[in-house]
Structure 1
Amino acid sequence: ANFSIVAARPLQQAGIEIVFQAQPLSGNDKVNPDQLDQTQAVVENRINDLGLSQHLVRTQGNDRIVVQMAGAVNADPITATLGAVGLLELIDAGNDALNPGTMVQTSSAVAPAVVPGAAPSSAPTATPGSKVYPVIITGADIDPTGVMVEFDQVGAAEVAFSLRGNGAKKLADFTASHIGKYMPIVLDKKVISSPVIQATIPNGEGVISNLSGVDEAKKLAAILKYGSLPVRLTLVESRAVADLGLPTPTPLVATSLSPTTPTAPASSSQQGGLAPGVIIRIIAVVVILLALIAFLILRRLRR
């Protein structure tokens, strides 16, 4: 029997939908369209770097970012990565040994980040009136192409980075004059690690260590590669969705087969000659012509 392939029907895609509210980083300014578009691009790049291939990032209204991801189950770590402002700072702590996780105030004008979904009053911040630490360099000095996840001698994950422009010189000058002092690495006003300067760093290359594992290293690398957000994102809603409606590629393998009606073979006249109806018409015309000729001949003979 003959069969034809029937295209597979697209399957429903379960996943999660996350809605962020965009807020200005400082002052009474409003979020403008350019900032919202830039935020959408940064979030998109962060998702791509996390390996979440099937997703959709879009703006909603004047101040919202909606993220849809197929197959993602645990939204919390993804939300934290996408919603982080991503402001990296290397600060001058002098003789202060700041423990990882400590919230600090820096000379940067940008306010501390708000934990996604948390009310401003409950967000972790530095103690009012606490010491303000000078900023040496920021994430704006980092070369995105030089950010990568590496592993130290004992197999612990770390993030390597390199500086661009004047950043390398600023770091070299500072480390040369502050050997033996602490230079904490801070992300969104939270201390990640607090290394002691052992020697001058002349080439603008550094490593962020003391991370919890490979996942944290990947998330940090994704944030550093694409820079900080121009706004602060606060979580509005995170929910599971049965069908996201994302476009799916057409499956190449058929899911069903259906019989087809066989076509009758063509007759010999159809295969190599004229159709019977045409032949009959030709014969009729020939007969009429012959009859007319015979009539004319007989008429002339009678004369």
Structure 2
Amino acid sequence: MRGYRLWLVVIVLVTVVCGWISLPSNPGIHLDWNDDGDYSDPFEMNKDLKVVQGLDLQGGSRVLLRAALDSDQYDDSTMDQAVKRIERRVNGLGVSEAVVQKQEGGRIIVELPGVSQQEVAFNAIKSTGLLEFVDFSTAGSIPEGTCVLTTEQVKIAEARLAEGETAQAYSDYTCEGQTADAPADSAQLQSDGTPFQTIMTGAGLADAAAANIGTVTLSWAVNFVLRDNGEGVDNFVNFVASHANQNMAIILDGRLVSAPTIQSDLASAAAAGTMDSGIITGNFTRDEAEVLAAQLKYGSLPIPLDIIAFDTIGPTLGEISVDRSIRAGIVGVITVLMFMLIYYRIPGIAADLALILFALINFALFKFIPVTLSLPAIIGFLISIGTAVDGNILIFERMKEELRNGRTMDRAIDAGFDRAWTSIRDSNLSTIIICFILYFFGSAFGASAVRGFAITLGMGLVINLFTAVIATRTFLHTMVLLVGGQLRARPRLLGV
């Protein structure tokens, strides 16, 4: 029995942790040992623990995009690439369960659950994300936000020219207005009328993340890591090494983000061959830094996109429907608990405790991961509850057969679990394989609702292997330790 006592301690600890995570007023996990507002150090964590609702439960926004090019300048593979990168970007911003779908006519529709900062998300979606590190050593003082023409922009524009078309003059290049109603801005050129020289694009970066660099006041920047043997990385390192105390511009989609001075220690590191990362500074808010980091981390869009329509949508289920669904779920779970208690008696109590633990672990993981709870995801969870009960029924029926065949209570309990285990294992594993297939097809074809169903059902099946076997067995053996004499004298308490 010692093994079950150890498992009982583990179960109690799991219950306490999951119960704390599941509390509605849980403050989250915020570990900042240095108390500097920067959670990037090892063993530090800044994580909110909250329920993430899908578009059908909480509403959100819908955006319709269209390619800002003629149809002969892109193909289906280009649009597919744009769809994948938009989905990665919005997920990188923390917009879970986003729906990104390609439509006819070079259009892409994006649904964003629970988006409150709409402009931030729209900028991340629409922007092509062309980041450039540009030689500004002779540029002088140019304000941030200025439209700047670079050699890379010219190269991209000329590559998109149809056969027989003539490249436009440098002076004709413009940037879109910074607001919807603002006119286009003419591009800034060098003093000799030529574009500024691009040293490296964002293709040379391996990773990027927003970071708080302020000590007294909050100030945000983007840390980046150079890609080994990445495109333009050698040019970038050589430029930094040879231009100490000179300016290098950081330009995003044709507009100047910042023009920091290359510090001497960074130039020395580049000259020594030890430079593998850097930082992009500017007057960033937290949202702006996260948008830029998402654009850099998940790649630039292959084609420019225009927002042609957007609207705010409410929950498709409605508040009343959600309340009724929750009430129906609670009634169903209580009914199952009562059935197990009445029909199986003492083993039913163990099964009910395991089922409550099952629900607690699931909900804690939903908050911690987090898992977006849409209607299909909730259905997957409810189905997994049915499999959890089904496993206990297999065990108890086998245990009752052993008791009727004359085995002692202890041996009947062990035989019930041991002989039912293979059936529970095989049935759960086969369904888990189906969940993997559903998740794969959901990822491939943009059916995020199917992915949510597969995630919650698969998680429930894995957790069920623990609760229906180990937890129930531990609870039942604990009860035998406490009231074993009465159970042996009154076998009806075991459901026989």
CA separation of 1:14 and 1:176: change in aligned 2, threshold 3 A: closer
Rounded to whole Å, the distance in 2 between the matches of 1:116 and 1:127 is 15
Per the alignment, residue 21 of structure 1 pairs with 66
1:259 to 1:101, Cα distance in 2 relative to 1, 3 A: closer
Specify the alignment match of 2:163 in structure 1.
none
C-alpha displacement of 1:104: 0.4
Structure 2 counterparts to residues 52-131 of structure 1, below 5 A = 52-96=95-139, 97-108=141-152, 109-111=155-157, 114=176, 118=180, 122-127=183-188, 131=194
Aligned-partner Cα distance in 1 for 2:81–2:178: 19
Amino acid at match of 1:207: I
Q: Indicate if the aligned counterparts of 1:180 and 1:198 stay in contact, CA closer than 8 A.
A: yes
Q: Identify if the C-alpha distance between structure 1 residues 113 and 60 changes in structure 2 by more than 3 Å, giving closer, same or farther.
A: farther
Partner of 1:180: 245
Residue 70 to residue 114, structure 1, CA distance change in 2 (3 Å):
same
The structure, 1 or 2, with the larger RCO (C-alpha pairs under 8 Å, 6+ apart) is 1
Cα distance in 2 between the residues matched to 1:11 and 1:152:
38
Distance, in Å, in 1 between the alignment partners of 2:327 and 2:95 is 22
- What pairs with 1:202-213 in structure 2 (closer than 5 Å)? 202=270, 203-213=275-285
Task: Provide Cα deviations, 1:113-152, integer angstroms capped at 9, x if missing partner.
Answer: 6469959x933341589541000000111113xx122222
Query: For residues 259 and 135 of structure 1, what CA distance do their matches in structure 2 show?
Result: 68
**C-alpha displacement of 1:62:** 3.5
RMSD: 3.4
Q: Percent identity?
A: 28
Give 3-state SS (helix, strand or coil) of 1:21's partner. Answer: strand
Partner Cα separation in structure 1 for residue 197 and residue 115 of structure 2:
40
Asked if structure 2 preserves the Cα contact closer than 8 Å seen for 1:116 and 1:234, the reply is: no
Task: Give structure 2 stretches of 5+ with no counterpart.
Answer: 1-54, 158-173, 344-496
Cross-structure match for 2:301? 229
Q: 169-178 or 52-61, which moves further after superposition?
A: 169-178
Q: Please list every run of at least 4 consecutive aligned residues from structure 1 whose deviation after the TM superposition is greater than 4 angstroms.
A: 10-13, 111-119, 127-131, 250-253, 255-260
Instruction: Give the paired residue count.
Output: 246
Q: Which deviates more from structure 2 when the two are superposed, residues 75-84 or residues 235-244?
A: 235-244
Per-residue deviation, 1:211: 3.2
Distance 2:104 2:178 in 1: 19
Is the CA contact (8 Å cut-off) linking 1:117 and 1:236 kept in structure 2?
no
How far is 1:15 from its partner?
1.8
Deviation at 1:56, TM superposition (A): 0.7
Deviation at 1:174? Answer: 0.9
Of the three residues 237, 243, 254, the one matched with 2:329 is 254
Larger of the two Rg values belongs to structure: 1
- Conserved 8 A contact 1:114-1:234: no
**Structure with more of its chain in helix, by fraction:** 2
- Which residue in the other structure is 1:148 paired with? 209
1:225-256 CA distance string (max 9 Å, x none): 011100101001010123458xx9x9698255
Amino acid at match of 1:205: S
TM-fit CA distance, 1:74 = 4.1
Query: Is the Cα–Cα contact under 8 Å of residues 116 and 235 in structure 1 kept in the other structure?
Result: no
The corresponding residue for 2:84 is 41
TM-score (norm 2): 0.45
Cα distance per residue 1:86-112 (max 9 Å; x no partner): 000000112323321111000012356
SS of residue paired to 1:210: strand
Once the two structures are superposed, the pairs formed by residues 196-207 of structure 1 within 5 Å of their partners are 196-199=261-264, 200=267, 201-202=269-270, 203-207=275-279
Secondary structure in 2 matching 1:104: coil
Gaps of 5+ in 1: 1-9, 266-303
Local SS of the residue matching 1:137: strand
Find the residue that maps to 2:185 and give its secondary structure.
coil
Q: Does 1:240 align with 2:318?
A: no
In structure 1, how many angstroms separate the alpha carbons of the residues matched to 2:144 and 2:179? Answer: 23
User: 1:103 & 1:132 partners in 2: Cα distance?
Assistant: 11
